[in-house]
């Protein structure tokens, strides 16, 4: 890729503050949560769920925001596009994102709903169950996409979750067009199997015509192609996309790029504490590799290492400088 770009990656997504709390297995059923998934909730449900949640901590999150922070932590140059409000949570998100070394210059909304938050219930196995109130994130519009920022990045990366707020989808399509006009690449993650359910036809069309690099986990890619076997999904995606990075939790990941296929083991993790951010940090590592001329298997191994770090502690972003963490491990 062109190394003259100002940014390695521009990430677009919902700007969200995570509210993380440990819970008992029984709470998942009692509170009518969808275990392991991301469920969209309205303001009333958010208030109700929060009241029933245990003591929590707050940490900046959002899928693409986490990915951007991970890229910066690896030593890459990342920018983020997403929308907060000018409230305290918006201040927290803006601070943490900039303090992690990510360029974030989108103006906060001065009215409308508050900054988005995601109520995350973490069970004893480390699995996170997410409940997102999108709030101000729904106000991301094409006007928030600065063409100069898009043109200045080797690759843009978007979360599939952006397909939920209608204007955000338009913002992404604008960004993708600008990127391709400037000879840049465009990547996306499918985000969540339920997100794929909501937007399958649109995602299929997008991937076939506009996406250079696709990220998906096993459930998502099987849902996209409505197949039961991982290998069937694999054969489909080879036809549709130049590069696909397919993650399979503790089974590692499979990278497909035309005739090139790599099956990469997961990095070892002594104790899984909180899986929040696993897929996001996988994308950080893979995109860092791609934009630094790593070959595909090396990019995938870096991706696995970044994911391993983030699931070994509570919170969706690295606890350490990833560039130091991965040194000597590749």
Shortest distance, position 194 Cβ to a copy of itself, whole Å: 27
DSSP of 264-294, one letter per residue?
EPPPP-S-----TTHHHHHHHHHHHHHTTT-
Quick one: angle between helices 278-290 and 63-73, nearest 10?
50
Which CB atom, from 252 or from 318, has the smaller least distance to a copy of itself?
A: 318
Q: Which residue has the tokens 């298997």?
A: 297
Which CB atom, from 60 or from 291, has the smaller least distance to a copy of itself?
A: 60
Which CB atom, from 61 or from 160, has the smaller least distance to a copy of itself?
A: 61
Shortest distance, position 329 Cβ to a copy of itself, whole Å: 21
> Closest by alpha carbon to 56, among 23, 101, 84?
23
Cβ atoms of 61 and 277 closer than 8 Å: yes
Shortest distance, position 117 Cβ to a copy of itself, whole Å: 9
Which CB atom, from 56 or from 227, has the smaller least distance to a copy of itself?
A: 56
Beta strands 185-189; 213-217: pairing state:
parallel
Q: Cα(306)–Cα(330) distance, rounded to whole angstroms? A: 11
Which CB atom, from 95 or from 251, has the smaller least distance to a copy of itself?
A: 95
Shortest distance, position 18 Cβ to a copy of itself, whole Å: 9
Shortest distance, position 189 Cβ to a copy of itself, whole Å: 22
* Residues pairing with 93 in the sheet: none
Shortest distance, position 324 Cβ to a copy of itself, whole Å: 12
Percent composition of the chain: helix, strand, coil (DSSP 3-state, to 5): 45, 20, 35
Beta strands 243-247; 253-257: pairing state:
antiparallel
Instruction: Please give the residue ranges that form the binding site for a copy of itself (CB under 8 A).
Output: 22, 50-51, 53-60, 69, 87-89, 92, 95-96, 99-100, 114, 315, 317, 319
């Amino acid at each position: 890729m062109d190394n003259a770009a100002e940014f390695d990656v521009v990430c677009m997504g919902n700007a969200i503050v995570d509210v993380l709390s440990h819970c008992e297995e029984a709470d998942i059923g009692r509170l009518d949560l969808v275990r392991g998934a991301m469920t969209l909730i309205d303001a009333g449900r958010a208030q109700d769920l929060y009241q029933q949640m245990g003591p929590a901590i707050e940490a900046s999150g959002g899928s693409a925001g986490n990915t951007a922070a991970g890229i910066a932590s690896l030593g890459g140059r990342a920018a983020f596009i997403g929308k907060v409000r000018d409230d305290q949570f918006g201040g927290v998100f803006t601070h943490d994102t900039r303090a992690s070394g990510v360029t974030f210059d989108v103006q906060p909304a001065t009215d409308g709903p508050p900054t988005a938050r995601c109520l995350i219930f973490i069970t004893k196995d480390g699995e996170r169950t997410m409940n997102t109130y999108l709030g101000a994130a729904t106000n991301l519009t094409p006007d928030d996409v600065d063409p100069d920022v898009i043109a200045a990045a080797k690759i843009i990366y978007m979360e599939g979750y952006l397909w939920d707020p209608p204007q955000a989808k338009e913002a992404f399509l604008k960004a993708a067009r600008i990127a391709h006009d400037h000879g840049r690449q465009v990547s996306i993650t499918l985000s969540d199997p339920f997100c794929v359910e909501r937007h399958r036809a649109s995602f299929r069309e997008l991937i076939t015509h506009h996406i250079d690099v696709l990220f998906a986990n096993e459930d998502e890619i099987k849902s996209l192609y409505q197949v039961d076997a991982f290998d069937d999904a694999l054969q489909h995606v080879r036809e549709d996309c130049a590069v696909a990075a397919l993650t399979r939790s503790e089974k590692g990941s499979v990278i497909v790029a035309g005739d090139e296929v790599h099956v990469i083991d997961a990095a070892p993790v002594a104790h899984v504490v909180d899986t929040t951010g696993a897929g996001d940090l996988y994308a950080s590592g893979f995109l860092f590799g791609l934009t630094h001329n790593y070959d595909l298997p090396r990019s995938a191994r870096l991706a696995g290492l970044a994911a391993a770090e983030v699931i070994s502690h509570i919170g969706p972003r690295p606890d350490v400088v990833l560039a130091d963490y991965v040194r000597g491990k590749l």
